[in-house]
Amino acid sequence: MIYTFLYSLLLIFSLPFIYIYFKRKGYDFGLKERFTLYKDYMDSSIWFHCASVGELKAAYPVIKYFSQKENVIITIFSPRAKDFASSVFQNEKVRFLPFDLPIFINRFIKMYNPKILIITEKEVWINLVKISSKKFPVVSINSKISKNLPVLNNFSLFLTNSEENAEKIKRYIKDKEKVVVCGDLKFLGENRKDIKFDKNGKKIIIGASTHNPEEKILIDTFLELKKDIENIALIIAPRHLERLNEIENLLKEKNIDYSLRTKTDKMEKDVMILDTIGELSGFYQYADVVFVGGTFANIGGHNILEPILENKPVIIGNYYYKVEDLYNQLKDYGIISSVKNKEELKEKIIEYLNNNQSSELLSFKDLQQKIFKCYINNIQNLIKGD
């Protein structure tokens, strides 16, 4: 009651400012849906709640699996996520999450008759969980709960992405058996942007999201490799395009013939600079080895998952604290390695180019299947009441 009262007060005072803020950004805040001021009906449904675009992407394979068998209703919180969900989920109904007050939650449940509520990652609304849990199971998937809330005991199951997050949740709830480690749903994602590109028979190294001095390290390593590997080529994708001139000067100093992605869709020169925005994920399909930047430079690492989802071997430096959890989960599958210097980088590239990675890549596909089945089977068992 205290929470509901305080939430109501906060809503009254903040709503005009929130509405104006999103209106100026060009987004529809969806007040009609948040107040459930509309009529709709489903015989029964599987209810997914994803707060953001990232959570929608994580839950995508699970949502698509159940939408082939059941009516699916997806609620989201942010206007940007609503636009994204409406474009991606054509056969599923997408609504804004009602404001977290009993009258709106109950009205929503009456319209869509959910048999289960599946909440992605760390979104916990107190009335949403308490009211729903009295009527049907509430499940957290890819769980990343980091706050101790009494309402966590109302969840029927936590399907977590890692042992670390599982241990955190177990400290917060009474029934430890509710926590199951399935693995990270992001391992199942597909983020590729389809692009037109001709490898021209080259073995391609991609330096992805690079910083100073990583381009120089890559260029020097490439020149060493080229002495023994004639058909090798390098693509440099700098993290910040304003450094383009700096990278071009490095190549000119070494008398290296290079091209810009904006000028060609074929690997004709020794080096190409990816001087476009949003194409990097599409280039991974053409790589033979990928170095992910921000790891020789003390940045902490960038997205290592995108090239791995393309089954490409990945190399990083020794500054990877921002992606350490992912690295630790993946390193035993033989498709990612950390190196300390230029010499180790060269050795690891040669190893990846020469070795047949098929067994390791198959092992990673087995991991993906295991993760997917863990989520699906546990959710299905709850729906059946097992």
Catalytic residue list contains 324: no
Percentage above 70 pLDDT, the chain: 97
- Which range among 86-100, 141-155, 321-335, 351-365 shows the weakest confidence by mean pLDDT? 351-365
Q: How far apart are CA 185 and CA 115, in angstroms?
A: 22
Task: Render pLDDT for 245-263 as a digit per residue (tens, 0 to 9).
Answer: 999 999 999 999 999 999 9
Residue 3 has pLDDT above 80, yes or no: yes
Q: Work out the average pLDDT over 152-181.
A: 95
Locate CATH 3.40.50.2000 in the chain: 203-355
Q: Which pLDDT does position 360 carry in this prediction? A: 61
Residue 14 has pLDDT above 80, yes or no: yes
Task: Render pLDDT for 313-337 as a digit per residue (tens, 0 to 9).
Answer: 999 999 999 999 889 888 888 889 9
Contacts with 230 (C-beta within 8 Å, 6 or more apart), sequence order: none
Instruction: List the Cα angle 125/131/82 in 5-degree steps.
Output: 45
**Are the beta carbons of 78 and 21 closer than 8 angstroms?**
no
State the CATH class of domain 203-355: alpha beta
Contacts with 308 (C-beta within 8 Å, 6 or more apart), sequence order: 314, 330, 335, 336, 364
Q: Which of 324, 264, 268 is nearest to 294 (CA)?
A: 324
Residue 134 has pLDDT above 90, yes or no: yes
Q: Work out the average pLDDT over 351-377.
A: 81
Task: Render pLDDT for 183-194 as a digit per residue (tens, 0 to 9).
Answer: 999 888 765 677
What residue type is assigned to position 175 of the chain?
D
Percentage above 90 pLDDT, the chain: 78
Bigger pLDDT: 160 or 80?
Answer: 160
Task: Render pLDDT for 61-111 as a digit per residue (tens, 0 to 9).
Answer: 999 999 999 999 999 998 889 989 999 998 999 999 999 999 999 999 999
Distances (CA, A) of 236 to 195, 268, 277, 292, 294: 17, 14, 13, 10, 13
Catalytic, out of 55, 121, 123, 215: 55
CATH number of 26-189+372-384: 3.40.50.11720
Locate CATH 3.40.50.11720 in the chain: 26-189+372-384
